[in-house]
Amino acid sequence: MRVIEIPASFDYRNIETLYDQIDVAKAEPLLFDLRRLRWIDPNGMLVLLAAGRVAAEAGSRPRIYLPGNREVVGYLDRMGFHEAALEVFEIGPRSIWQRRSRRSDVLLEITGIARNADVHGVVERVQSRAGAILSNTLRYPSSAVVQFSVILSEVCQNIVEHAKGPGWVAAQAYNWRRRLGRQVAVIAVADIGRGFRASLEERHAERFDGRWGDMPALEAAFLHGITRFPDTGRGQGIQQIRKQVRRWQGLISIRSGSARIADTPSWSSKGKVEEGLRPFPGSQINIILPERIQ
């Protein structure tokens, strides 16, 4: 059994440390070792679930050792990671386990997305609990709650209509006092479906004169609003989300296949494009919305 080591701090900044250890073309028993983990964000949680699901679909149900730190375990519990992990992994026998605790501080716990009804459930939950966090914590106007719900609806709908594969969404608010000096909301969406390249290939690959690939597909959707639909106005969600996140001076990045593209604000040091990454199925979206400065 090959061991996949998860670092002590695991979030959107070092997510490639997991991708680099996964060979999607190789079926082998895997153990995901989280025992050193001290910090994880929604992106880290969803990528763990996605990698575990890929390993399981290759023919071998993976195992997972949960963190040894009880505070981290409690946070994973509030985010709904345990319930989601039970559907993907075999839990290590010595792993600490805390059954469902209160989730009052969670913006949106990990939620599986497979059909339209799941998307409607996400929007209802966010509208019922996000108002106070967005208004009081991030200082957004009341109209932003509706816009925030639209963003979540669009990225979740993308899983149902575009990815054609299982996916998850999660969101949480954090105090980035040291990193940014203010509060942020982190939204993560991941699926292991067909990805942007395959989704757009049939309708748009020929126009790229043999240059079609993961990055051209991401640029087509992210920068130019190209969709898989023949009629104008449909499937423009990604480009509209990008514009809204930019208005809020936030960050949005999308990884699909072997490439990543991002729209980064002045406070972020991440590059705008990355190619030649370790291939991984589906798409993974990271959105960070900072506290509004009056």
pLDDT at 67: 92
Distance between CA 104 and CA 54 in Å, rounded? 31
| DSSP, residue by residue, 157-171 | HHIIIII-S-EEEEE
Task: State whether 94 and 120 are in the same domain.
Answer: no
- The count of residues in the chain is 294
pLDDT at 11: 95
Task: State whether 78 and 160 are in the same domain.
Answer: no
Task: State whether 52 and 142 are in the same domain.
Answer: no
Q: What is the CATH number of the domain that holds 34?
A: 3.30.750.24
pLDDT at 244: 86
pLDDT at 231: 45
* Structural domains counted in the chain: 2
Query: Containing domain of residue 269, as a range?
Result: 106-294
Q: Render each residue's pLDDT in the chain as its tens digit; 294 residues.
A: 899 999 999 999 999 999 999 988 888 899 999 999 999 999 999 999 999 999 998 888 999 999 989 899 999 999 999 999 999 999 877 666 666 555 567 888 898 887 777 777 777 776 666 666 777 778 888 787 778 777 778 778 777 776 666 799 998 999 998 888 999 999 999 999 989 998 888 877 777 777 899 999 999 888 887 765 544 444 456 888 888 899 889 999 999 999 999 999 999 888 899 999 999 999 999 999 999 876
Task: State whether 147 and 46 are in the same domain.
Answer: no
Task: State whether 91 and 161 are in the same domain.
Answer: no
**pTM for this structure?**
0.90
Distance between CA 34 and CA 111 in Å, rounded? 21
Measured between alpha carbons, how far is residue 107 from residues 39, 113, 185, 223 in Å? 17, 17, 8, 29
Distance between CA 169 and CA 45 in Å, rounded? 10
Task: Name, in order, each residue with C-beta under 8 angstroms of 153's C-beta and a sequence gap of 6 or more.
Answer: 119, 122, 123
Six-digit token pair at 68? 């040894």
Q: Find the helix or strand (DSSP H, E) in which 31 lies.
A: strand 30-33
Assign residue 66 a region (left: φ > 0; alpha: ψ between -120 and 50; beta: otherwise). beta
pLDDT at 233: 45
* Span between the terminal Cα atoms of the chain, in Å: 53
Distance between CA 218 and CA 257 in Å, rounded? 10
Tell the residue number behind the tokens 């990990």, with chain if given: 110
Task: State whether 273 and 159 are in the same domain.
Answer: yes
